[in-house]
Structure 1
């Protein structure tokens, strides 16, 4: 290894590349961008993606696949909030879930979080883990409060929730 002037590069083959992706547009973002106080509205509890948010997910998915980046991803970590889980499974998940392969568990069931979105397959995708420490805020606003882990496990059956604490911040 060449170390000069106190700077030393670690061999690239021993490095991991980290890509950070923020969630697509959530229902809380629409009104919150107009008036910050809208984030206090309990209607936005654990906010889900808007139709524009799903379009953003589809565009990022196309980019991740067309660039070949999907083949270099070993693990996806997302916060255990509806909008971030929807973004993660939409971008990095397998093609649409047909339900005819009984050995393939869906990453997301149809209409998870009132999304009107089809189920998403876990076939040929990197593992997805929900981690509590990925959250920007822990329950400051209703949109930042989340459901119980058991509710998420039902909606996102192939996501690993072992890094999400068992409590729910709905109270």
Structure 2
């Protein structure tokens, strides 16, 4: 009861914050013309994942993904994390999953050094909505800025930002895809938008023998951004009793999050590498679903994985999008 009341009050605060922000920004006719002049067209995603026919992303969301793909790539390049040689090579190949069957990609026939992993970005959260409002007004966001007028994601109302009604609907739309998959383990970021996305998309795998586990290694950018600060772990564990929170060590005050500085791209890349090589690689399950966040996914697919020539795999994830891949591990020469 306490958790439900907290969720209702939190969502209402965020709804009012979004309305306040919308009313405070002068209306403009879309984004400035110069904003996307160097941005390529959005990847088709064909073959990367099975996209339900009735999925519709807003034009603002599509523009944002184009922008983030380009800007994120530049940021990773400037941080010097691209092409870095690590002890373990992680080769990733996309696989096509049909909503009615995935027999051709059965995990039972995989080599011992290979796993099938279904990566999903969470559905639209209130922070995503507020970011869209901000950008549609023609204003850019500085993710390292502490001033909420320049970076709305530091607003205190956004702590552990939940899904919007649109985000919840997205998860329901992807449920058919989730039901067609056969994960033995479903790993979720302990932030509530990721858990709720997983419980909506993979609802048919609750109570069926698949393990559910929260893992802090796949959280979004640590530090500064309020939307990435986790609510007390005890509340999340009480709300989702089928999820194992035993490995979540940040506790009631989120010791991994700090108010002064955002995690660097190098730090995030190292964390993603550790999550994949120390956790996913060593799990006994051969087919795994991971529900996580866009910045983390972008860094992992660009700075940690070897995706070959597949540019689609390296693009920014859309909200709720699932990309199914075959991951092979080998020692670097």
Q: Which residue of 1 aligns with 2:232?
A: 148
How much has 1:27 moved relative to structure 2?
0.8
Equivalent-residue separation in structure 1 for 2:132 and 2:210 (angstroms): 33
Q: Give 1 or 2 for the bigger CA radius of gyration.
A: 2
* Secondary structure of 1:76's aligned partner: strand
Equivalent pair of 2:160/2:192 in contact (CA under 8 Å): yes
Unaligned runs of 5+ residues in structure 2 are: 1-108, 135-140, 142-150, 259-333
Cα deviation code 1:68-95 (max 9, x no counterpart): 21xx211111110010010111111248
Q: Which has the higher helix share?
A: 2
Equivalent pair of 2:122/2:193 in contact (CA under 8 Å): yes
Q: Which residue of 1 aligns with 2:153?
A: 39
Q: Which residue of 2 aligns with 1:82?
A: 192
Unaligned runs of 5+ residues in structure 1 are: 1-10, 96-121
Equivalent pair of 1:92/1:125 in contact (CA under 8 Å): no
Runs of 4 or more above 4 Å deviation: none
Equivalent pair of 2:184/2:209 in contact (CA under 8 Å): no
Cα deviation code 1:23-66 (max 9, x no counterpart): 1000111011232322121111101001110111011112222x
Q: Which has the higher contact order (CA 8 A, sep 6+)?
A: 2
* Secondary structure of 1:161's aligned partner: coil
1:127 matched to 2:211? The reply is: yes
Equivalent-residue separation in structure 1 for 2:219 and 2:207 (angstroms): 27
Equivalent-residue separation in structure 1 for 2:209 and 2:174 (angstroms): 15
What TM-score do the two structures reach when normalised by structure 2?
0.37
RMSD across aligned positions (CA): 2.0
Equivalent-residue separation in structure 2 for 1:34 and 1:60 (angstroms): 25
Equivalent-residue separation in structure 1 for 2:194 and 2:174 (angstroms): 14
* Secondary structure of 2:246's aligned partner: strand
How much has 1:13 moved relative to structure 2?
4.6
1:12 matched to 2:110? The reply is: yes
Equivalent-residue separation in structure 2 for 1:123 and 1:129 (angstroms): 13
Report how many residues are paired: 131
* CA 1:125–1:24: 2 relative to 1, 3 Å: farther
